[in-house]
Amino acid sequence: MSESGSTNNGRTPEQSKPTTASAFRTITEDEFIEQFKPEQCEDGSYYRQRDWTDPDDLIVIEQAAKEGRCWTALDTDGGWGLSSGMHWANRVFYVICAMPVPAGEQIDVLDDMADPIPEPE
């Protein structure tokens, strides 16, 4: 509980601050893979799907989010896409990348991902 008597749902004050992106852009899936180097599955296919309900995955997701390396797979109208950062609404799974998103940027990967949402591992 904070000094004002309210809670932040277990989040630190830093995590509770609203984030604002000064730049928004959309990239292709190929650009996403090349620039951010997402985790692969053991068989080498994309994407390793991190599940927020798995305690071990959640630790990795939260750490990657602090470092700007977490992306959210979102169920969109007519398909699915990836959005930089840790989102809650319409999330399907999280993807962790080796390279962080530049500070102040919001990036979506939507334009060529109309295939069905990948089945969970």
Residue 41 falls inside a structural domain: yes
Query: How many domains in the chain?
Result: 1
Beta strands in the chain (DSSP E): 23-26, 70-76, 79-84, 91-96, 105-109
Residue 19 falls inside a structural domain: no
Q: Between these two residues, 82 and 22, which has the higher pLDDT value?
A: 82
Structural domain boundaries enclosing 64: 24-109
pTM of the model: 0.71
Mean predicted confidence (pLDDT) in 17-29: 74
Residue 4 falls inside a structural domain: no
Residue 64 falls inside a structural domain: yes
Residue pointed to by tokens 């852009």: 25
Residue 1 falls inside a structural domain: no
Indicate if the pLDDT at residue 12 is higher than 70.
no
Mean predicted confidence (pLDDT) in 5-32: 62
Residue 45 falls inside a structural domain: yes
d(CA 100, CA 84): 9
Residue 61 falls inside a structural domain: yes
